[in-house]
Chains A and B, each alone.
Chain A
Amino acid sequence: ADIISTVEFNHSGELLATGDKGGRVVIFQQEQENKTQSHSRGEYNVYSTFQSHEPEFDYLKSLEIEEKINKIRWLPQKNAAQFLLSTNDKTIKLWKISERDKRPEGYNLKEEDGRYRDPTTVTTLRVPVFRPMDLMVEASPRRIFANAHTYHINSISINSDYETYLSADDLRINLWHLEITDRSFNIVDIKPANMEELTEVITAAEFHPNSCSTFVYSSSKGTIRLCDMRASALCDRHSKLFEEPEDPSNRSFFSEIISSISDVKFSHSGRYMMTRDYLSVKIWDLNMENRPVETYQVHEYLRSKLCSLYENDCIFDKFECCWNGSDIVMTGSYNNFFRMFDRNSKRDITLEASRENNKPRTVLKPRKVCASGKRKKDEISVDSLDFNKKILHTAWHPKENIIAVATTNNLYIFQDKMN
């Protein structure tokens, strides 16, 4: 139940939320920067922990509904409280996280412990005042958006209008208003009339960061569709279709599986979007549909191992990816490795998130995987990679070079060296 299933920074980067397989959400807060220690940014400490979703049982279908948190998305902050959306396979919840550091004291009719005083003993009146107390962080569910998805929810995305959001499952995408829980609009439906004809599912969806009527969704066949909600109420017909023609020389029985897109993310500017399939990360220019502008190989050495990876189901692992602005992209791999690609310098780096190999406050050593032939010192051969140690979830601070990397059970936070 401690398996981390999602990681997300809020809009300021001060808070970092993680969701796990047991339905819990843990929020970390960055310490205020210490002026004297200017070479180190604040550390992240636990701020709040709460149980977001509980396991449920669908009696109609005799199936369990997992409480695992699939995605967390923060709302931009509008007042003192913080709001986030968290979702499991079926239900989305809006949580309010608020601080309480004062409490009223000096009631006339009540004692401090809450018992009512005998009115006859009240001889004078006083005005209650707020006195400081130990900080308490409270999380309360404010909205529950349920019963709108027959299939498993894989994505939620908040619109740039900050009033609506979308939720996507394998076959449908729904549009919600944050204030309204008993209704949602269905905006995409790819369910065939005859389920036997099903060959493609929706794997991820996201709203454009600036254009509130535009969103994209990716599929298991490696395509991305951009839809405009102004075109029609049901966006079954895409406005743009992004697809790269298949490379015939690389064709195998696994071609389709490895082309399935596991994550799609817009760059902060909204000009580009990034997709992650099993072996690579692709950067697309929204203005060009027929191929990506850049392709980065995450772990090409796995291409010859696809059959084994199919056998042990690793080929179905859904890796996420994230942007640093519009310049650097990051994604995870196996053996607790994660990769970063710099679009400008075309350099890439492989790093490892593990306690054994890295002491705190030391600079991470770049790693290298040896695909074949003689293994150099410090290189790791493909066969000794641990496929149970996978980094599926990573997040980049919106403003600073701080990253959060989730291994199966642990969360690592790295920052770049400052001096």
Chain B
Amino acid sequence: MFVRGLKRKCFDGEEDIEGTLAGIKAIPSYNLQRQSLLDMSLVKLQLCHMLVEPNLCRSVLIANTVRQIQEEMTQDGTWQMINTQSTGQASLDRLVSTDILCRSSRDQAEGKHIAAYGTFNKDFESDQAQDGSETMSTASSVQAPRNLQSNVWEMENPQENKGNFQKSLDQIFETLENKSPNSVEDLFSEVDNSYYDLDTMLTGMMSNTKMGHCDSLETFSSPTNTASNSNCKSDLNDLDHIVEILVES
């Protein structure tokens, strides 16, 4: 399938692909195209959080498209999981979960405990609020592989996430203390307010996506890429730090 009307990005990467992804019979740029499509879709999903409620139908369709691409990439074998933990498999499922795809980048960093809240819309049940408290404890173990996934996607700005992660975690903790169903909605309403943040996030994302193809392709070709590993390590350190704070308070 040749998708027309799409700007080719990262021409230098093409030579690399032909050599390293030799197992794939398709035209070399198909993977680039597919990756562009994936990135575009994720950007579209990120724009969910606006002042007016996002169009649910559109979000669902985009999320399904992303899932489809991911499934194909998994089958192709171009999707390489960099993880050693047992929860790795679970996080692959999480990735495919629509919920993740619909979150803003700062929410993605918050990990599994947000998953229960269903960000497609702001309609939360009280039982989901309870789920949140249970899954909090598993946050740290899932966090590592999830962030690794994010690196592969190159969708996030790690600096952003650290700050927002802190803020959002605080909010979550407050919310769960309150233990009222509506406050869970308030959590996201606060996160949504600032257009400035949206712009920064978008700028961060767009610059990342441009580089994304090259970086992600390099990651595919060499799983032991030192650059990505060091990113993981620093993220893990951040996580430990944050989880400590959480536990202490």
Give A contacts to B, CB under 8 Å. 60-64, 66, 89, 150-152, 170-171, 194-201, 203, 220, 252-254, 256-257, 260, 304-308, 310-311, 313, 316
Task: Report 29 cross-chain contacts, Cβ distance below 8 Å, ordered by A residue.
Answer: A60-B185, A60-B189, A61-B122, A62-B189, A63-B189, A64-B53, A151-B121, A152-B55, A194-B118, A195-B98, A195-B121, A199-B63, A220-B60, A252-B1, A252-B3, A253-B1, A253-B3, A253-B69, A256-B61, A256-B65, A260-B61, A304-B4, A307-B37, A308-B4, A308-B6, A311-B5, A311-B40, A316-B55, A316-B61
B53 contact set on A, CB distance < 8 A: 61, 63-64, 89, 152
Q: Report the bound CA distance from A89 to B5 in whole Å.
A: 34
Residues of A within 8 A of B182 (CB): 60
Residues of B near A151 (CB, < 8 A) are 56, 121, 123
B68 beta carbon closer than 8 Å to chain A: yes
Query: A260's closest neighbor in chain B, by CB?
Result: B61
Residue in B56, B63, B65, B122 whose CB lies within 8 Å of A254: B65
Residues of A within 8 Å of B58, CB to CB, are 313, 316
The answer for the CA separation of A123 and B192 in the assembled complex, in Å, is 72
- Within the assembled complex, what's the spacing in Å between the Cα atoms of A197 and B37? 22
Within 8 Å CB of A308, what residues of B?
4-6
**Known: A63-B51, A253-B65. Contact between A305 and B121, CB under 8 A?**
no
Residues of B at the A interface (CB closer than 8 Å) are 1, 3-6, 34, 37, 40, 44, 51-53, 55-58, 60-61, 63-65, 68-69, 97-99, 115, 118, 120-123, 182, 185-186, 189-190, 192-193
- Contact call A199/B52, Cβ cutoff below 8 A: no
The residue on A at minimum CB distance from B93 is A196
Q: Which of A64, A170, A305 contacts B56 (CB 8 A)?
A: A170
Distance in Å: Cβ of B131 to nearest Cβ of chain A: 10
Q: Kindly state the separation between the CA atoms of A256 and B71 in the bound complex, as whole angstroms.
A: 15
Q: B65: which A residues are within 8 A, CB to CB?
A: 253-254, 256-257
Contact A61 B118 (CB under 8 A): no
Residues of A with C-beta under 8 A to B34 = 253
- In angstroms, how far is the closest chain B Cβ from the Cβ of A22? 14
Q: How far is the CB of B108 from chain A (nearest CB, A)?
A: 14
Known: A63-B53, A195-B120, A201-B57. A310 touches B40 (CB 8 A): yes
List A contacts of B61 (CB < 8 A): 220, 256-257, 260, 316
Pick the residue among A63, A64, A307 that contacts B3 (CB under 8 A).
A307
Pick from A150, A256, A307: contact of B6, CB below 8 A.
A307
**Are B98 and A196 in contact, with the CB atoms below 8 A?**
yes
Contact of A200 among B51, B60, B185 (CB under 8 A): B60
| Distance between Cα atoms of A307 and B37 in the complex (Å) | 8
Given known A195-B99, A260-B61, contact A64–B52 (CB-CB < 8 A): yes
Which residues of B have CB within 8 Å of A307? Answer: 3-6, 37
* Given A170-B57, A196-B97, residue A305 in contact with residue B5 (CB < 8 A): yes
Q: Are B51 and A152 in contact (CB under 8 A)?
A: no
Cβ-closest chain B residue relative to A68: B52
Most buried by A among B5, B68, B115: B5
Q: Note all chain A residues with C-beta closer than 8 A to B55.
A: 152, 316
- Collect the chain A residues with CB atoms within 8 Å of residue B6's CB: 307-308, 311
Chain B residues contacting A60 (CB-CB under 8 Å) are 182, 185-186, 189
Give the shortest distance, in Å, between A159 (CB) and chain B (any CB): 25
Q: What is the CA–CA distance of A171 and B123 in the complex, to the nearest angstrom?
A: 12
User: What is the minimal beta-carbon distance from B231 to any residue of chain A, in angstroms?
Assistant: 27
Q: How near does chain A come to B68, taking the closest CB pair, in angstroms?
A: 6
Among the listed A62, A256, A305, A306, which residue makes an inter-chain contact with B64, where contact means beta carbons less than 8 Å apart? Answer: A256
* Residues of A close to B190: CB separation below 8 A: 62
CB-nearest residue of chain B to A251: B1
Which A residues are CB-close (under 8 A) to B122?
61, 63
Shortest CB distance B173–A (Å) = 20
Are A199 and B185 touching (Cβ within 8 A)? no
A201 and B99 in contact (CB under 8 A), knowing A196-B115, A310-B40?
no
**Alpha-carbon distance A150/B3, docked complex (angstroms):** 37
- Of the candidates B44, B64, B121, the one whose C-beta lies within 8 Å of that of A150 is B121
Give the distance in Å from the alpha carbon of A89 to the alpha carbon of B121 in the complex.
14
* Whole-angstrom distance between the Cβ of B177 and the nearest chain A Cβ: 19
| Cα distance A201–B55 in the bound complex, in angstroms | 11
B84 CB to nearest A CB, Å: 26
Q: Which residue of A lies closest to B121 (CB)?
A: A151
- Counting from the closest, the 7 A-B pairs by CB-CB distance are A195-B118, A62-B189, A308-B5, A307-B3, A196-B99, A61-B122, A170-B56
State the CA gap A194–B116 with chains docked (Å).
Answer: 8
Contact indicator A203/B40 (Cβ below 8 Å): no
Nearest A residue to B34 via CB reads A253
A215 to nearest B CB, angstroms? 19
Q: Which residues of B contact A220 (CB under 8 A)?
A: 57, 60-61
In the bound complex, what is the Cα–Cα distance between A244 and B40 (angstroms)? 29
